[in-house]
Structures are given as C-alpha cells and as structure tokens.
Amino acid sequence: MQLMPVDPYPVSRRWRLTGWLLAAIWLVFLNVALSRALAQEELWRRVLGVGSLVAFGLAYIFAFEWGRLMRRAGRPIPRRRAWTILGALVALGLVGIPATGGEWMSTLVFVCAAAIFLLPLRPALVVVALAVVVPLVLGRLVPGWGSENGIVFAVLLASLAMFGVSRLAQRNAELQAAQQEIHRLAVAEERARTARDLHDILGHSLTVVAVKAELAGRLLELDPARAAIEIADVERLARQALADVRGTVGAYRGVSLGTELAGARTALAAAGIAAALPDAVPELPTERDELFGWTVREGVTNVVRHSGARRCEIRVGSDHVEVCDDGRGPAGEPGGDGHGLVGLRERARRLDATVSVGRRPDGRGFLLRVAVPAAGR
C-alpha cells in the first residue's frame, strides 16, 4: 500500500526540501519538553523522552507532507487514516510523560495543527476544544504540573495559523486543478480545430483529385494530350494539398474568398458542372472573408462529391454568401450535416453568423447560405 501519494505537480528538489523544513522548523517549540527529558537522571527516562519526542516530530512532518500531497493531487483526505495519524501523535506525546512530565502537553499544539490540516472543520474544532480543556483540567488535578495557560494560548494561535495555511493550500490545489482543466480544454479545442481544418482541406482537395484522375482515365485512349494535362493537374493539386496540410500543422495557413472562388472554378470544371461565379467580390473584413472562403470550399466540395448537379451558382454579398445547385444535396439527404458542415457551423458561430442548409425555395436544387448579422457589418 502506498503511504505517500505521488506529487502531481513535482517541483525542484531544493523547493521540496524547503517545504519539509517549513514543517519541521515549528518543532523548536518542543525544546522545553526535550530539555526536561534530557535533564532526567535515569537513563531509561532520558531515552524514552528523547525517543518519543523524535518519533513525534517525524510523525508530525509525515502528516503534514502527506496532507499537502493529497491536497495537491485534488484527492480527499481519508478520514480514518487522518484519525489514525492524530491518535498516533497523541499516543507518542503520552508515552513521553515519565520523562517530560507536564511539558508533554506542548505536543497538543502540533496535534491541533495537524487536525486543522487533515480533518474537516467541525471535527477539527472538536479536537482543538479538547486540547484547550485538557491543559486547564490537568494543570489543576496533577500535582507539580502547574498552570498551563501558555499551552492554551499556543493551541489557539497554532490552530488559527494552520486554518489559514490549510485554506491557502486548498485554494492553491483548486487553482492548479482549474489550470489543468483549462489546459486540457485548450488542447482538446486545438485538436478539434486541427482535425476540422484537415478535413476541410483534404476533403476538398482529394475530391478534385479523384474527379480529375477519373477524367484522365477516360481520356487516356481518346485524347492522350488532354489526359496528360489532367494528370499534371492531379500532381499540382496533390502538392498543394500537402502544402496546405503542412501549413495547417504549422498554423500558418489562411483561407480567402478570392482563392477559394478560383479553386471552385477549377473543381467544377473538372467535374463537368457548369459554374456561375461572381467576377468580383466586395471588400470584406479578414474574419468574414475567411468564413466566406470556407463556405465556398465546403459548398463546392459537397456539390462535386454528392449532389449529381449539372449547374452550380455562387453568389457573394457584403453580409452573405450562397452556394446553390440543381442537384439533390449532400448524400441525397437535404439538411444532413457531415463533418464539414459541422466545422462550418462552428466557424460561423464565432462571428454570430447563421448557416442555412437545405432545398432551394423553388425546390429545384440545394442551397448553402451563410449570413452575417447586420450588427456585424
């Protein structure tokens, strides 16, 4: 069974040693009890007193370090094990009574500090209350132990200080857990973005490559010169797709409406689909230009791959872009969203734009429309 949990946020060896020293330095307040033990004339009393105090100090440091690692790991401190540790501390303090006399009660200060650090607030307050009562009662009942008002004050002060330390440790653990969650979500978002971009890029490029390769195969015997031209285009498109993938991985690739319109003209021509494209496009903000470019790319990819259309028209305005055809729509399912349309909706959401997918109002084809609200102009 593993006694000490693994530190989920490991630090340098020097800072780890510093943490141990911060826990151990407070043990200097056991000096009076230690001096009392060393002053004993009988050897067995000296050995018992010094041994019990050393064991007490090591147990306290262990308790502090164990509780700290549990908090940093974001794991609840097992109640039974915490009570066992506190019981061991009390027992070690009591064992030293033959050598330390009434000074053993100085160990109650550390018992209370450990209780505050390891237990929930209410049980910890019960321990503190008992530690306050014990010195007052025993100081009057046991001859020679005298008044222990100083111990009572030390117990209350140590408990208050450890309450602040424990709350600080808890907040730090929560902050570290939040940072880890933010990092995890950022990584997940970046992976989703990369996957979406790769799908959009390769889906479009490979669709055109497949269409041109099929055309070249048909022309190989009928028109070898034209087939060679189509094969050269396949090679060029493959190299461009590879460059786009590298650009996406390096986060340097950009999409523009003008570039995508030019690519759409080539893709539609290769597929034998009549194209009606605008000769000029309005000046658009960078983000809107990129969104409209992605819309053209996704729309044309679906037209070429799924629609069975004979004609495709692209219309561009300052606040909208439309890709319409006279075919049946993606996979024969109007309104069906593939990965590309899901990615397009995610991009549109960033600009509060709306994505409309479905049959044309006249029922004679399929329409993809992305519109930016008037407030975004």
DSSP state, residue 27: G
pLDDT at residue 375, rounded to an integer: 56
The secondary structure of the chain in percent helix, strand, coil, rounded to multiples of 5, reads 70, 5, 20
Torsion angle in degrees (nearest 10) through CA of 72, 75, 80, 83 = 20
64, 56 in Cβ contact below 8 A? no
Residues shown for the chain? 377
323, 365 in Cβ contact below 8 A? no
Separation CA 348–CA 357 (nearest Å)? 13
Separation CA 183–CA 191 (nearest Å)? 12
Residue 259 exposed, middle or buried by CB count within 10 Å (0-12, 13-18, 19+): middle
What would the DSSP string read from start to end of 314-339?
A: EEE-SSEEEEEESS--GGG-TT---H
First vs last C-alpha separation in the chain: 64
Residue written as token pair 């819309």: 295
* Element (DSSP H or E) covering residue 281: none
Taking the CB of residue 272, how many other CB atoms lie within 10 A of it?
10
Taking the CB of residue 44, how many other CB atoms lie within 10 A of it?
10
pLDDT at residue 16, rounded to an integer: 55
What would the DSSP string read from start to end of 64-105?
A: HHHHHHHHHTT-PPPHHHHHHHHHHHHHHHHHTHHHHGGGGG
Type of residue found at 61:
I
Q: Give one word for 365, left, alpha or beta, with left for phi > 0 and alpha for psi -120 to 50.
A: left
Residue written as token pair 């729309």: 299
pLDDT in tens, the chain (377 residues): 455 555 554 444 554 555 566 666 677 778 888 888 888 889 999 999 899 999 998 898 888 888 878 877 767 888 999 999 999 999 998 998 888 888 888 888 888 888 888 888 889 889 888 888 888 888 777 776 665 667 787 888 877 877 777 777 667 667 766 766 776 776 667 667 666 666 666 666 777 777 778 777 777 777 778 878 878 877 777 777 766 666 665 444 567 888 889 888 888 887 888 999 998 888 888 889 989 998 998 888 888 887 788 899 999 999 999 999 988 765 444 444 566 788 888 889 888 999 998 888 877 788 999 999 875 44
Mind listing the domains of the chain with CATH numbers? 13-182 (no CATH), 256-377 (3.30.565.10)
Separation CA 142–CA 199 (nearest Å)? 82
Q: Give one word for 309, left, alpha or beta, with left for phi > 0 and alpha for psi -120 to 50.
A: beta
Separation CA 243–CA 267 (nearest Å)? 18
φ, ψ dihedrals at 369, nearest 5°: -135, 135
Separation CA 340–CA 346 (nearest Å)? 10
pLDDT at residue 186, rounded to an integer: 62
pLDDT at residue 214, rounded to an integer: 79
What would the DSSP string read from start to end of 191-244?
A: HHHHHHHHHHHHHHHHHHHHHHHHHHHHHHHH-HHHHHHHHHHHHHHHHHHHHH
Residue 92 exposed, middle or buried by CB count within 10 Å (0-12, 13-18, 19+): buried
Separation CA 209–CA 205 (nearest Å)? 6
